[in-house]
Structure 1
Amino acid sequence: MADSKLTKQDFDAMREQYAKYPRAKVIQRSIMQNGINNTAKDNTVKGKLNRTFSVEVNTGKVSDQKHSGRCWLFALLNNLKHDFAKRYDVKDFELSQSYLFFWDKVERANIFFDNMIATASKPVDDREVRTYLDGPGSDGGEWAMAVALVQKYGVMPTSAFPESKVTNDTSNLNDVLNLTMRRDGKILRDMVNSGASDEDIANKRDEMLKEIFRIAGYACGVPHETFDFEYRDDNKKYHIDKGITPKEFFDKYFEVNLDDYVVIENAPNKEFNKNYINPASDNVVGGKHVGFLNMPMDVLKETAISQLKDGETIWFANDVTAQSDRKAGILDANLYHYDQLFDIDMDMTKGQKYAHLDSLSNHAMTLTGVDLVDGKPTQWKVENSWGEKVGEKGYFVMADNWMDAYVDEVIVNKKYLTDEQRQLLDQEPVVLKPWE
């Protein structure tokens, strides 16, 4: 390959080409004054998304995850609270995200220590080891991770375990946990490689886990083992249930069986009609594995529509940073025309974007409605967890073309799958590499 060092001759050629564009100066002034998105934005999109939905689940006020990466917890608890609201006539009931967040910190440290010990013989720059070290104290997560926490610890209403300054802004806690756990990981690796006894390693690990519990307790509070559930329903009727545990609360007040729900993924860079798991992404030892059934997009849409028609909302994962207007609450694949603005070809398929890290799932939200025209979806109603100051009181409208391009997975009851599709769930899953 020829030497690629840039020279003055290269710069002169670039300047010459730049000067040849007849609208270069006009475009430059517009972008510098208004920014890229405002210049590239298609203002006709807003008029096409009218926020009227032929199928819509009745829901209440949106939650607000504030400055935290807990959307995966919010989205699951949103679905649970909708079920509770419908069953017990409490429209704006709220479940505690902080409660599950606390236990996630402890469980995530526990499984991280296991991974550090198991991979101690590998060099620290090994790709698997680097994957575990990449944010062990972070607060992002997956559907299966949220389910594992609920199944083990139950849930609590926010009134019994409220938010704290730290849970509303998790960045400092994440920094502290990342530093602490990486140090702990180094110590455990060194102990294994120096021939320390299993007993000494186990004792050190136990000491480390107690430190993580203490950090999480200082930041979030330590959950009580029992609480009094006290509320008034929308008919002003008073209710109280004293001395109930979070697990008893979930089993008593929620009839949903979380094991009945499956992750339907649309990852075109992997083979369709196959079951995949990634145990390296799990957060609870012995809990549900992170995984998915990879299917064409029409399966995601068909199952989601069926579940919405039956009055049940849907957890879904997506790339919310792409082609979105946060303030207006608009998601449309043609919202910003960067290709036209810069006169360049930016075309990539969804699978190509996945493979080349251009589009990554970074947010979870809740589908609460869909507009069907001649039986086909045109737009979807989305409950976000960014508070009421964005979108329409916190609700977004998602064009169907955005679902095609940027929605990665939906969580649906497996009863909405065909018999043939359900049989795929019984196949031996493909185990993904830890970094996938």
Structure 2
Amino acid sequence: MSEITTELLKKYQADYDQSTGPKILSHAIAKQGYLDSIEDNSVLRRHDFVFSDETKRGEITNQKRSGRCWMFAALNTARVDTMKELNLESFEFSQNYTLFWDKLEKANYFLESIIKTVDEDLTSRLVMHLLKDPLQDGGQWDMFSGILKKYGVVPKKVMPETYHSSNTAVLDSLLTKKVREIAKDIRNKHAEGASEDELRTFKEERLSVIYTMLTEALGQVPTRFSYSYRDKDKKHHTIKDITPQEFFAKYVGWDLDQRISLINAPTADKPYGRAYTVKYLGTVHEAEPIHYINVPIEVLKEAAINSIKAGEPVWFGCDVGQISNRQIGVMDKDLFDYEAAIGEPFNLNKAERLDYGESLLTHAMVFVGVDLDENGKPIKWKVENSWGDEPGDKGIFSMSDAWFDEFNYQIMVDKSYVPAEWLKALEQPLVELEPWDPFGALAVY
């Protein structure tokens, strides 16, 4: 039968009445919800927030009401080298500065994509995908790498937060309205016979209004600045008349071409040992395309552990909302006893969750430690989040190694921490994934 009948409903009710689960659990779920009712307290005892290997880190940061987690995670990773270079206990880069350039560059990237697809039907899946959310806050590591290469960084005091950098919803909405309007005008001009050069000239002219809106909301971006500070020995220093690009080169010092993203996608369509990119995904239009190497989860862990042992934090992207308690800062796949509540567990594996839309990368954070057993195998991971110091252990989260297996999707490390056999993937042509592939998802929480 195709419909839900009265007889079928009676059977469902009988099944519930005969279930072996304690009915008191139903009362608890109705009163306080599933998660609080089925949280396994014994699991929390595994997370003492003590780790065998740790890196240096700065004070906990707070992205507030914005989706800049990927920026915070990247800058929190980079600042450790700045803290060493300047002899500081802590330091914070301006996330507002990088937000400004991300929004402007995303607007340009989106409009270039519109120019590229002017002959596509407006209702095509591709054009609808491009129009869906062109200026959202989220991103991935390679998108941020392009911003760092082109624009560098500045200390937070040089370009501090504004209302809209910490509360991006209205700004995002207004910017999106405007770029969609510009996209409409570009397609109309093309229909009227405008050349590609004419469309691009029009785009460049209209980007001026985006720049104006960003300057009003986020402030003017510095092109040169001076920075005064006291180091941890209380000595005063001033760095005079420096550009953001020079500051990054001198006080972070990363060779961005040596930084690589590894992903773990155990799906049939993405063989291990190949490098992948995603069509129409990027920020800086002229930057290298996004690329990452798909490797087994053990390789991902090995590279992360190698980096942590060398004192270097690790940027990573995961599905943070899966089986986690935000308030206590614990991510553990055994945290909730779903079987006790509904009579059976959830049975999709990692590949199936990706294939069926049940999981994808949603949030970026930083590994700043790992707890290894006597055989050097990870037990749990120390995570620096960017949600302020109230959640978790004053902003620090604890992730079980089994949770890492199931819900961690991407890390960024120096190539020196990756076995050479896997880096050979970069010698082959990039495999292009469709724009709506799960690995085109952006870290945005």
Distance in structure 2 (CA, Å) of the matches to 1:42 and 1:142: 33
SS, match of residue 26 in structure 2: helix
User: Which residue does the alignment assign to 1:402?
Assistant: 403
Distance in structure 1 (CA, Å) of the matches to 2:424 and 2:21: 58
In structure 2, the CA distance between the partners of 1:24 and 1:43, relative to structure 1 (3 Å rule), is closer
What's the offset of the Cα at 1:91? Answer: 1.8
Deviations 1:7-53 (A, max 9, x none): 33333333333333254742321101121001121111111112111
The residue type equivalent to 1:14 in the other structure is Y
In structure 2, the CA distance between the partners of 1:198 and 1:288, relative to structure 1 (3 Å rule), is closer
In structure 2, the CA distance between the partners of 1:299 and 1:198, relative to structure 1 (3 Å rule), is closer
SS, match of residue 387 in structure 2: coil
Asked if 1 retains the 8 angstrom alpha-carbon contact of 2:58 and 2:79, the reply is no
Distance in structure 1 (CA, Å) of the matches to 2:222 and 2:420: 44
| Structure 2 residue 381 is the aligned partner of structure 1 residue 361 | no
Asked if 1 retains the 8 angstrom alpha-carbon contact of 2:21 and 2:340, the reply is no
Asked if 2 retains the 8 angstrom alpha-carbon contact of 1:231 and 1:238, the reply is yes
Unmatched 5+ stretches in structure 2? 438-445
Asked if 2 retains the 8 angstrom alpha-carbon contact of 1:145 and 1:288, the reply is no
Asked if 1 retains the 8 angstrom alpha-carbon contact of 2:79 and 2:252, the reply is no
SS, match of residue 48 in structure 1: coil
User: Which residue does the alignment assign to 2:190?
Assistant: 192
Distance in structure 1 (CA, Å) of the matches to 2:195 and 2:298: 54
User: Which residue does the alignment assign to 1:392?
Assistant: 393
User: Which residue does the alignment assign to 2:304?
Assistant: 304
Percent identity for Structure 1 against Structure 2: 36
User: Which residue does the alignment assign to 2:264?
Assistant: 266
Deviations 1:204-225 (A, max 9, x none): 2123211111111111112021
| Structure 2 residue 205 is the aligned partner of structure 1 residue 207 | yes
Deviations 1:69-98 (A, max 9, x none): 101111110011111112221122110011
Between 1:251-260 and 1:11-20, the stretch displaced more is 11-20
User: Which residue does the alignment assign to 2:441?
Assistant: none
| Structure 2 residue 412 is the aligned partner of structure 1 residue 411 | yes
Deviations 1:359-391 (A, max 9, x none): 110000000001110211001110000111111
Distance in structure 1 (CA, Å) of the matches to 2:197 and 2:419: 51
Distance in structure 1 (CA, Å) of the matches to 2:75 and 2:318: 18
What's the offset of the Cα at 1:287? Answer: 0.9
TM-score normalised by length of structure 1: 0.96
The residue type equivalent to 1:207 in the other structure is E
User: Which residue does the alignment assign to 1:67?
Assistant: 65
SS, match of residue 86 in structure 1: helix
> Which of 139, 153, 156 in structure 2 is aligned with 1:155?
153
Deviations 1:315-364 (A, max 9, x none): 00000001111111111111112233111341111011011111110000
The residue type equivalent to 1:399 in the other structure is S
User: Which residue does the alignment assign to 1:136?
Assistant: 134
Aligned length: 434
Distance in structure 1 (CA, Å) of the matches to 2:22 and 2:311: 52
Asked if 2 retains the 8 angstrom alpha-carbon contact of 1:166 and 1:219, the reply is yes
TM-score normalised by length of structure 2: 0.94
Asked if 2 retains the 8 angstrom alpha-carbon contact of 1:111 and 1:285, the reply is yes
User: Which residue does the alignment assign to 2:430?
Assistant: 429
CA RMSD of aligned residues (A): 1.4
Deviations 1:160-196 (A, max 9, x none): 0001111111111111122222222122112212322
Deviations 1:238-296 (A, max 9, x none): 11122211111112222221211111100011211111112411111111322210000
Between 1:175-184 and 1:369-378, the stretch displaced more is 175-184
SS, match of residue 391 in structure 1: coil
User: Which residue does the alignment assign to 1:20?
Assistant: 18
Asked if 2 retains the 8 angstrom alpha-carbon contact of 1:147 and 1:288, the reply is no
User: Which residue does the alignment assign to 1:252?
Assistant: 250
Distance in structure 2 (CA, Å) of the matches to 1:103 and 1:8: 59
Asked if 1 retains the 8 angstrom alpha-carbon contact of 2:115 and 2:196, the reply is no
| Structure 2 residue 333 is the aligned partner of structure 1 residue 333 | yes
The residue type equivalent to 2:349 in the other structure is T
Asked if 2 retains the 8 angstrom alpha-carbon contact of 1:127 and 1:435, the reply is no
In structure 2, the CA distance between the partners of 1:307 and 1:217, relative to structure 1 (3 Å rule), is same
Unmatched 5+ stretches in structure 1? none
